[in-house]
Every structure is written in C-alpha cells, then in structure tokens.
Amino acid sequence: MKLLDKTIAAEIALNLLEIEAIRLQPDQPFTWASGWKSPIYCDNRLSLSYPAVRSLIKDNLVKAIQTQFSDVEAIAGVATAGIPQGALLADALGLPFVYVRSKAKGHGMENMIEGKITPGQKVVIVEDLVSTGGSSLKAAKDLKDSGFQVLGMVAIFTYGFDIATQNFEEAGIDLVCLSNYSAMLPQALAKDYIDDETLASLVEWRKDPSTWGR
C-alpha cells in the first residue's frame, strides 16, 4: 500500500475536507457497520458534484495508472462508489470498463461482473475508499475467478489500517492511493478543522479503532 505522491495526497485531503467529503467529529462519533465508533466519515461520492475536485481526482488516478500499471487493458470499478470514478478513469484512458457487484444480481443473467469479460485481460481496480480492504479484495478475487489478470488497485483515500496492509499483502494485490489519513490530519489542523486536543484523539483512533471511544 503506497501513496502516489505526498504533495498530491495533501492537496486531495484538503479538497475533500473543504467539500465535506471528509467529516471529523470525535465528540459525536459515527458508527460503522462493523460496530466501530469512528471520529471520521469519508464519502468521496460528494467529489462528483464538484467539477474541479472531480477533475483533480480523475487526473491523478490517470497518473497513478500510467506510472504504476502502464500495461493495463481495462478498468474495473467496485460497486457502488467505485463505478463513477472507474468510468471517468476508463474514459480518460480510452479503455474498456466493467464493474463488480458486491453480490450476484438475483435475476436476469445473475451477473457478478457487469460488462464484457475477456479472459486474460489485464485489469486495474478502482475504489473510492479503502478501510480494512475486505470488499475491495473480494472484488479482486471475483475478477480473477472470471479470468481477468488483476494488475493492482487504485483508490482515492485510505485510513491506512495495519489490517488493510496485511490483507493486501496476503492477497498479493498492489494498492496505490491518492491520499490517506496521515496526509489528512496536518491539513485539518492547519486549516482549523480540528485543534491539538482533537488531533490527539484522532491519532489514538488510528492506533486502535476497535476500542476507541469505549
């Protein structure tokens, strides 16, 4: 798991804070589906409503693909938030696009993957957000099972959990992110989204999110 570029990471983090795609509220934490209490909520779908931010993300996803996975032949988005980002990226690169469902459609062709499946085709997966990596790596497995050659994955933002790093290493999937939690915190502090006390709480959450706030 690596960042494309530290300067880009800071710029994208600041943009996500400014449009409230990233919201920080440790005093009123969010509850994730896992039951974890979280001081942060990240919804990168909001970036689609801001043309300048949308273009910033798209252009740097293009750069990530061109520099890290130059022999890519197709782009795959992970449903649902990875679909629009993946489609924008595929269009910019002039490549075929498919997307991966979280589960097979219960009617019609009952597809798990939507789009043309070409066995052996080299594909890069697009995610908007990586937390533990579970859903992202399931999509990678589904693509492999369908005959694609998965080169790696690009994502807009990651929390940078150790468990995610471990999961990607075990799966043998390279992940390149535009920004992450560590890049976001200094931007939030510098622009007064948080103070020093809040920063300390956010750092503690990052160390052990499963017990934070209890």
**Residue 109 carries which side chain, given as an amino acid letter?**
M
Q: Is 70 part of any known ligand binding site? A: no
**Backbone phi, then psi, for 180, in 5-degree steps?**
-150, 180
107 annotated to a ligand binding site? yes
Residue 130 annotated as part of some ligand binding site: yes
133 appears as a binding residue in the annotation: yes
State how far the Cα of 200 lies from the Cα of 167, in Å rounded to an integer: 27
Give, in degrees to the nearest 5, the angle at Cα 128 between 26 and 37: 25
Q: Is 105 known to sit in a ligand binding site?
A: yes
Q: Does 146 count as an annotated binding residue?
A: no
DSSP state of 80: T
Alpha-carbon distance of 210 to 214, in angstroms, equals 9
- Report CA torsion sign: 149, 113, 165, 43: positive
Residue 54 labelled as part of a binding site: no
**Whose CA is closest to 24, among 162, 160, 150, 206?**
206
Q: Is 49 labelled a binding residue?
A: no
129 annotated binding-site participant = yes
131 marked ligand binding residue: yes
SS3 of residue 169 by DSSP: helix
Which residues are documented as binding site for 5-phospho-alpha-D-ribose 1-diphosphate?
101, 105, 107, 127-135
Which residues are documented as binding site?
101, 105, 107, 127-135
Which residues are documented as binding site for orotate?
131
